[in-house]
Amino acid sequence: MSTLPVLYSFRRCPYAMRARWALLQAGQLVQWREIELKDKPAPMLEVSPKGTVPVLVLADGTVIDESLAVMHWALNQADPRDLRRQGSGKTQDCIRQLIELNDTTFKHHLDRFKYSDRYPGQSKQEHQQQGLDVLRGWAKRINDCGGWLVDASCSLADVALWPFVRQWRIADPEGFDADQSLEPLRGWLMRFLQDPDFERLMQRADPWHPGGLQPLFPADAVDVPADQPLFHLALAEDWKAASQSGHYDMSTRGLRLDQVGFIHLSWREQVVSTFERFYADAESVILLTIDAARLTSPLRADAIPSGELFPHLYGALPIEAVIDSGPYLASEW
């Protein structure tokens, strides 16, 4: 457990929120040190004297103290939905430009609109207008691109920007909700706010003090022991395709890894109920037995709404990790 990275974070900080969102998507588990901005813990300032959150300290002592760098580190561990659009340099440029506009121009106007009392002599209305110009540009992009900022699915740009748009809405909910030109942006923001991961992202913890309680983030997840076999039920045709390609990338029946973000697995005692819930009417079901120690993508056990933990694999399943495969025989379980 002590080898998990340490994350210094502040619940409502939009930079920390986007970093935590990426950690969630990448199947990471970290030691969570919630801080108070007015009383930063000395161990955080020792590793990062600039005193901003988020700060991620890796097991080898590497310190990552810029939110975007934390996101990239997380997505380097696993990026099952290809948020970074690795195959397209043009889309990557577009993502970079959008994030830069947010982190410079938009943030500048957001601060002076939201906290206008901290900026005496500046015109709140002027910053509101300029911030709205940026927001309208993003709304138009979302409309033109089919629901997201760069194309028809969520990218790193969407993930990096939405906490700041949320802040704008918090500063002026009536104006934001009534503005017709922001309609596509409202729908886009709602998708994040209504995502089950939003609640996980915004979990609360008491401020950490050296020697104090050390919760994990996400708080409803645990590490997956490498010494216990993991199981996955697969349709025979999907497993056959995987045996040819060398890796298996179905998440669950009828849904791929890139649609769900991870591959559903079970521990031994969960196999029967998983079969009964999802595969009982399928023609030909194969049970895969997986050696967790042979997996290289992140594994994390996440709670489903009932609270039960299930192991999830945040990447494709290499066929070398499957130590046994054969028809699922209900009579044997």
Ligand X SMILES: N[C@@H](CCC(=O)N[C@@H](CS)C(=O)NCC(=O)O)C(=O)O
Residues that bind ligand X (CB under 6 A): 10, 13, 15, 37, 51-54, 66-68
Nearer to ligand X, 68 or 142 (CB): 68
Q: How far apart are CA 189 and CA 303, in angstroms?
A: 24
CB of 57 to ligand X, least distance (A): 14
Nearer to ligand X, 99 or 185 (CB): 99
CB of 35 to ligand X, least distance (A): 9
Nearer to ligand X, 8 or 314 (CB): 8
What residue ranges in the chain does DSSP mark as E strands? 6-9, 30-34, 55-57, 63-64, 216-217, 221-222, 230-235, 247-248, 250-252, 255-256, 263-264, 285-290, 299-303, 309-313, 317-318, 322-327
Count CA atoms within 13 Å of residue 134 on its CB side.
23
- Classified as helix, coil or strand, 250 is strand
Nearer to ligand X, 8 or 328 (CB): 8
Nearer to ligand X, 52 or 289 (CB): 52
Report CA-CA distances (Å) from 60 to 3, 6, 63, 96, 319: 9, 11, 9, 29, 30
CB of 64 to ligand X, least distance (A): 9
CB atoms within 10 A of CB 98: 22
Report CA-CA distances (Å) from 136 to 9, 116, 149, 284, 304: 30, 21, 12, 51, 37
CB of 202 to ligand X, least distance (A): 14
CB of 18 to ligand X, least distance (A): 8
CB of 69 to ligand X, least distance (A): 8
Q: Is 298:77 a contact under the CB 8 Å cutoff?
A: yes
Closest residue to ligand X using C-beta atoms: 13
Nearer to ligand X, 19 or 242 (CB): 19
